Amino acid sequence: MMNNQVSVISIQFCPKIGYRERNLNKVKELIENNIHLKPDLIVLPEFFNTGVSSVEFKKLAESDDDSPTIKFLAEIAKEYNTYILAGSIVEKDGDKLYNTSRLLDRRGETIAKYRKIHLFDSFGGTEHEYISYGKDYTVAQTDFGKIGLATCFDIRFPLHFTELIKRGAEIIILPAAWVKPHEKLAMGTENWKVLNRARAVDNISYFISSGLCGKMDSTKGLSGHSMIVDPAGKVLADAGEDEGIASAILDMNIVREMRSQFDIKRFTGLTE
């Protein structure tokens, strides 16, 4: 029987660059401090285990065959009977690196993997210089509905989310390391907030983001503001700028009722 009431925790924190074990223990602490919320889904930010550093990405990249981060989180998923979006970590595959998110089920098994498609290669971003582009859109079935995956800069590309809706996504998850306003970057916190709400409304879906906060380096800060937005664009939770969580109960009946009143197929091109 499908669960229609879904408890969600979105984790927000400032990882210490290059200190994987320390960062994983911080994630565990934040989860344990909020486990009374009995989450069905826990969402983690982009680069949560390493921080944002091209040097550390190369040193700490993990493969499917040997991923200490996924092994660590799998134990938490099993212990607390929850899904976890481990998003994202740097994945090593041969001589290439990918910015990869993995969705773990309640048994700690990986049920979906998404490699970031739209790398941050604009407004001065250089992610494409050390990370390879992903190609495939990813949607996973859970016991409460279908989840579509995206990462950070993907949020600027509406057609990405159209593809997820075509594949049945009712919840969209987006881990991020979104940069605050900066003299060389046409980004910023206000853009981030607008885009979270827009993607929820565009797609008549719940939209869950999980962002880093604090400092990325000596010149750039990270926006934080991990958010949970309902299909009408109402912000159910916003973690603000500091370490902590955003949490909410998702009512999956709302998505299904709204979609029954609006032919979403008309803008997705979805056919029977």
Candidates 26, 92, 113, 116; catalytic one = 116
Q: Known catalytic residue: 113? A: no
Nearest of 180, 177, 264, 162 to residue 220 by alpha carbon = 180
CA distances from 103 to 55, 136, 139 (A): 26, 15, 10
E strand or H helix at 98, and its extent? Answer: strand 96-104
Q: Known catalytic residue: 152? A: yes
**Tokens at 160, concatenated:** 């990405």
Going by their DSSP bridges, the two strands 206-211 and 227-229 should be labelled as: antiparallel
With a CB cutoff of 8 Å and minimum separation 6, the contacts of 8 are 39, 40, 41, 42, 43, 208, 228, 247, 248, 249, 250
Candidates 26, 56, 152, 193; catalytic one = 152
Candidates 46, 56, 127, 163; catalytic one = 46
**Tokens at 64, concatenated:** 């499917």
Q: Known catalytic residue: 116? A: yes
Contact predicate 158/166, CB 8 Å: no
Q: Which residues are catalytically annotated?
A: 46, 116, 152
